Structure 1
């Protein structure tokens, strides 16, 4: 339920008069109303829309309110929305049966409208708080898992380059008769280890900045950002003789340029690393309704079988697109999610991999 929009209520009652009176009063109070005159009709309604709260009459033909509640609870799309029973039955056994069926409250007829409003408001607020608490707990669990993986990453990934630096320094210290060639080799080992450490640390810092960062959204020239990223990777491109082609014009998007620069840099550098020999990368863009779509296609060996794991922080896989801390694509996925976008990874039937990402179009800013 969106706190800024009125709640949607489903009222199920086989008495048309009761249904009309309750709905008329609740509509005046600002609620959006759905109605059903029997349990089967209610279940059909639930196939099309999920209300925020349900008011169920107990005494109905074919299927009573308790049986209806039990069926609703078994549905995959039921997420704990409160169900309140309405009935003339006020004996303890009926009330206990109602709570056992999943009801959160029990209102006896004739219904007092003021009481009904208070109970509806209370249960909507409780349900909203439970949803927020569940989401917060989920975020905390994810954070705990990421912090545990972070510790393992720092310990594992920094161990090898730091060990290499220490070994090279020890060799340099122990050997008094180093030739110029040997000295240069040791210096290169130290530089390589230091660069590896820097790469790992930069990835971890980017991940941390994204978690805390705030963005001011605006129209972004995506072709300009893509070409800037290509220019920044010029040395890498020349080393492997990679070719990068932007086919057609890339449409404008609505987002945050500093973050999207990181998206392009990660996707293009991955395509270079895991492309063919030499790598050939093709970038395209198109407009799809209210979204814009961009593709980065390479000519490499393709993606791992478990493609979903590619976007998890600190993921590791023996196949392509997972290297070092495994943060690159995780950062890309988080950036796009923060910008109301998404990314899909898939293998090209003709060979290579396609990474396709979506963003709101420039029209979103209007």
Structure 2
């Protein structure tokens, strides 16, 4: 049940009159009503529709309400929905049997409809709160899992550059008469290790930054952002002797320019690093009625078989396509999702990897 849609209630009673009266009162509050006149019919209903709350008569032929509740609770998808029993039985043993069968409440007949309305409303609210808590706990469990991966990943990834720096310093201390070339080589080793460690730390900071934060969205000149990214990657392009082609116009999108600059820089640098030798990177875009797709294609060996893992934090898959801590594409995916878009990664049948992200079209765009 969402905040926009009404709750769906299933009422099971072998007395058609009771069934009609209960449903009529509940329907006045806007609930969507489902009915069944026996347990077997109710179970068939549950094969097709998942109600948010169930009201079960107890005294029914063939299978009573307690037995029906036991059958419902056996089903994997029906462990949490509230079950309220309706019956003339008001002795303690019957009530205990109802709770043991998985019921959350017990209403005795004749039913006071004001009481029924209050109990239904209360149990729906409790159920919603319980589901929200379950989802929140699931998010926390996922975060804990990510942090566990973070511990191992950062320790592993920082070990190499820091070890390189320590080794260079040790060499510097051991050699008494360093030539100028030897000193410059050691300094370069230290710089490379420091830059590598800094890149890992920057990636982790970006990962944390894009998990939260409020930004003001506007129309973004994507053509200009691509050019800026290429300028910032000029050294990398020269180092790899890469060819980067922009095919056609890159239309504007609705988003946040600083974040989208990070997206372009990350995707283009990945395409260069993991493209062919020399790399050829093709950038293009396509406009639809309400969205624009932006594609970065490389001429490399393609993505690993488990490339659906690319956007998960600290995951590298079977390939070096994710570098460092494995946060680059995770950051990209989180940015795009925060901007109400989506991103897909796939292999081109003709070779190379293709990463395509979709963003909303500006309102005033043609």
TM-score class normalised by the smaller sequence: 0.7 to 0.9
Residue 25 of structure 2 corresponds to which residue in structure 1? 25
Residue 200 of structure 2 corresponds to which residue in structure 1? 200
Residue 13 of structure 1, CA deviation: 4.0
Distance of aligned partners of 1:54 and 1:335 in 2 relative to their CA distance in 1, 3 Å threshold: farther
Q: Distance in 2 between matches of 1:303 and 1:224?
A: 28
User: What's the CA shift string for 1:107-145, capped at 9, x where partnerless?
Assistant: 233221111122112212221221222222222222323
Distance of aligned partners of 1:19 and 1:281 in 2 relative to their CA distance in 1, 3 Å threshold: farther
Residue 216 of structure 1 corresponds to which residue in structure 2? 216
Distance of aligned partners of 1:208 and 1:69 in 2 relative to their CA distance in 1, 3 Å threshold: same
Q: Distance in 2 between matches of 1:24 and 1:261?
A: 57
Residue 154 of structure 1 corresponds to which residue in structure 2? 154
Map of 1:307-346 to 2, 5 A cutoff?
307-346=307-346
> Which ranges of structure 1 fall in alignment gaps of 5 or more residues?
none
Residue 54 of structure 1, CA deviation: 2.5
Distance of aligned partners of 1:168 and 1:50 in 2 relative to their CA distance in 1, 3 Å threshold: same
Residue 92 of structure 1, CA deviation: 5.1
Residue 274 of structure 1, CA deviation: 0.9
Q: Partner of 1:190: helix, strand, or coil?
A: helix
Q: Distance in 2 between matches of 1:15 and 1:115?
A: 20
Map of 1:80-119 to 2, 5 A cutoff?
80-90=80-90, 94-119=94-119
Residue 233 of structure 1 pairs with residue 227 of structure 2: no
Distance of aligned partners of 1:97 and 1:250 in 2 relative to their CA distance in 1, 3 Å threshold: farther
Distance of aligned partners of 1:200 and 1:86 in 2 relative to their CA distance in 1, 3 Å threshold: same
Q: Partner of 1:152: helix, strand, or coil?
A: helix
Moved more, 189-198 or 7-16: 7-16
Distance of aligned partners of 1:222 and 1:5 in 2 relative to their CA distance in 1, 3 Å threshold: farther
Moved more, 273-282 or 80-89: 80-89
Equivalent pair of 1:23/1:33 in contact (CA under 8 Å): no
How much is the aligned-residue C-alpha RMSD, in angstroms?
3.1
Q: Distance in 2 between matches of 1:44 and 1:66?
A: 17
Equivalent pair of 1:304/1:320 in contact (CA under 8 Å): no
Q: Partner of 2:210: helix, strand, or coil?
A: helix
Equivalent pair of 1:285/1:294 in contact (CA under 8 Å): yes
Q: Distance in 1 between matches of 2:257 and 2:114?
A: 52
Equivalent pair of 2:307/2:317 in contact (CA under 8 Å): no
Residue 60 of structure 1, CA deviation: 5.4
TM norm structure 2: 0.85
> Which ranges of structure 2 fall in alignment gaps of 5 or more residues?
none
Q: Partner of 1:245: helix, strand, or coil?
A: strand
Equivalent pair of 2:305/2:318 in contact (CA under 8 Å): no
Equivalent pair of 1:57/1:85 in contact (CA under 8 Å): yes
Residue 268 of structure 1 corresponds to which residue in structure 2? 268
Equivalent pair of 1:263/1:332 in contact (CA under 8 Å): yes
Map of 1:239-250 to 2, 5 A cutoff?
239-250=239-250
User: What's the CA shift string for 1:62-109, capped at 9, x where partnerless?
Assistant: 765455545544555546222223334445555445434433222233
Equivalent pair of 1:304/1:319 in contact (CA under 8 Å): yes
Distance of aligned partners of 1:341 and 1:18 in 2 relative to their CA distance in 1, 3 Å threshold: farther
User: What's the CA shift string for 1:16-64, capped at 9, x where partnerless?
Assistant: 44333323322333x3312233456656665665433222344556765
Residue 290 of structure 1, CA deviation: 4.7
Residue 255 of structure 2 corresponds to which residue in structure 1? 255
Distance of aligned partners of 1:324 and 1:28 in 2 relative to their CA distance in 1, 3 Å threshold: same
Runs of 4+ residues over 6 Å off in structure 1:
none
TM norm structure 1: 0.85
Q: Partner of 1:362: helix, strand, or coil?
A: coil
Distance of aligned partners of 1:243 and 1:40 in 2 relative to their CA distance in 1, 3 Å threshold: farther
Q: Partner of 1:55: helix, strand, or coil?
A: strand
Equivalent pair of 2:58/2:85 in contact (CA under 8 Å): yes
